[in-house]
Chain A
Amino acid sequence: MTEVTANASADVRGASDLAVCMEGVNKWYAEFHALKDINLSVNRGERIVICGPSGSGKSTLIRCINQLEVIQKGRIVVDGHDLTAGGKNVDIIRQETGMVFQSFNLFPHMTVLENCTLAPMKVRGKSKAEAETTARQYLERVRIPEQAAKYPAQLSGGQQQRVAIARALCMNPKIMLFDEPTSALDPEMVKEVLDTMIDLANEGMTMLCVTHEMGFARQVADRVIFMDRGEIVEIGTPDEFFGNPKHERTRNFLGQIS
Chain B
Amino acid sequence: MIRPFGWNEFLIIVMAAQWTIALSAIAFAGGGVGGLLIALARVCDIRPLRLASLAFIRVFQGTPLLMQLFLVFFGMNILGLAINPWIAAAIALTLHASAFLGEIWRGCIDAVPPGQREASTALGLRYYNRMRYIILPQAARIAVAPTVGFLVQLIKGTSLAAIIGFTELTRQGQIINNATFSPFMVFGTVAAIYFVLCWPLSLLAQRMENKFSRATQR
Q: Give the contacting residue for A105; candidates B119, B124, B133; CB below 8 A.
A: B119
- Are the CB atoms of B124 and A107 closer together than 8 Å? no
- Please encode chain A, from 86 to 98, with 1 for each CB lying within 8 Å of some chain B CB and 0 for all others: 0000010011011
On B, residues with C-beta under 8 Å from A are 113, 115-116, 118-126, 129, 133-134, 137-138, 141, 218
With a cutoff of 8 Å between Cβ atoms, the chain A residues found around residue B129 in the complex are 122-123
With a cutoff of 8 Å between Cβ atoms, the chain B residues found around residue A168 in the complex are 122-123
Closest Cβ neighbor of A122 among chain B residues = B129
Q: How large is the interface on A (under 10, 10 to 19, 20 to 34, 35 or more residues)?
A: 20 to 34
Closest Cβ neighbor of A92 among chain B residues = B124
- Are the CB atoms of A119 and B115 closer together than 8 Å? no
C-alpha gap A1/B76 in the complex (Å): 63
Closest Cβ neighbor of B114 among chain A residues = A105
C-alpha gap A156/B118 in the complex (Å): 22
- Are the CB atoms of A94 and B138 closer together than 8 Å? no
Interface set, chain A 146-172, CB cutoff 8 A to B: 153, 164, 167-168, 171
Closest Cβ neighbor of A97 among chain B residues = B122
Give the secondary structure class of B's interface.
Answer: helix
With a cutoff of 8 Å between Cβ atoms, the chain A residues found around residue B125 in the complex are 118-119, 122-123
C-alpha gap A177/B118 in the complex (Å): 13
Closest Cβ neighbor of A103 among chain B residues = B115
Closest Cβ neighbor of A106 among chain B residues = B119
22 contacts between A and B (CB under 8 A): A66-B121, A94-B123, A94-B124, A95-B124, A97-B122, A99-B119, A101-B119, A105-B115, A105-B116, A105-B118, A105-B119, A106-B119, A107-B134, A109-B141, A118-B123, A118-B133, A119-B123, A119-B125, A122-B125, A123-B129, A171-B123, A171-B124
- Are the CB atoms of A99 and B133 closer together than 8 Å? no
With a cutoff of 8 Å between Cβ atoms, the chain A residues found around residue B113 in the complex are 105
C-alpha gap A177/B123 in the complex (Å): 12
- Is A55 an interface residue when CB atoms closer than 8 A count as contact? no
Q: B142 to chain A: closest CB distance in Å?
A: 11
Q: B179 to chain A: closest CB distance in Å?
A: 55
Given contacts A98-B122, A107-B116, 11 further A-B contacts (CB under 8 A): A94-B122, A98-B123, A99-B122, A107-B119, A108-B138, A118-B133, A119-B120, A122-B133, A164-B119, A167-B123, A171-B123
C-alpha gap A119/B115 in the complex (Å): 16
10 tightest A-B CB contacts, nearest first = A105-B119, A119-B123, A105-B115, A99-B122, A95-B124, A123-B124, A94-B124, A122-B129, A109-B137, A103-B115
With a cutoff of 8 Å between Cβ atoms, the chain A residues found around residue B137 in the complex are 109
